[in-house]
Amino acid sequence: MEYDVKYYQQVAEELRATGAIEGLWLKALTVANADKEKAKALYVKWRLEQIVAAELQESKHKASYTIACPKCHATETILSAHVKNPSAYTTFNISYNSFLGRIKFSCNHCGKVFKRDTQLLE
């Protein structure tokens, strides 16, 4: 996997400012059989993966979805991070079923009840 230089820069700045994350560094040293040069390369590789994964998670979190009532077409746009939070909605009442992974929407305008898979909203 090849990463953008900006991520390497971020790791370099982090190492300069706060040093290595101890647990990750120990893991790298262990996997590299105490070979410090190999461990450094592993550390940077893993830290890059963590940073890129965290950024992806964050951008997913910032994504928003527009829910539309199938009957009266009332809409509400909601951040994906708040999709399961009933108090984040004004146009719909929701109940979240964690077992089925579904949200049941009830429209405050026309009373229409409909369901959505949370996988499609996250």
| Chain contacts with Zn ion (rule: CB under 5 A) | 69, 71-72, 74, 107, 109-110, 112
Angle at 50 between CA 45 and CA 55, to 5 degrees: 125
Contact 70, 112 (CB under 8 A): yes
The minimum distance between CB 109 and Zn ion, in angstroms, equals 4
The minimum distance between CB 85 and Zn ion, in angstroms, equals 20
Task: Measure the CA–CA gap between 7 and 110, rounded to whole angstroms.
Answer: 49
By beta-carbon proximity to Zn ion, the closer residue of 36 and 73 is: 73
By beta-carbon proximity to Zn ion, the closer residue of 74 and 88 is: 74
The minimum distance between CB 88 and Zn ion, in angstroms, equals 18
Helix (H) or strand (E) holding 63: none
32 CB burial (10 A radius; 0-12, 13-18, 19+): middle
By beta-carbon proximity to Zn ion, the closer residue of 103 and 107 is: 107
The minimum distance between CB 29 and Zn ion, in angstroms, equals 59
By beta-carbon proximity to Zn ion, the closer residue of 24 and 72 is: 72
Neighbours of 74 (CB within 10 A): 15
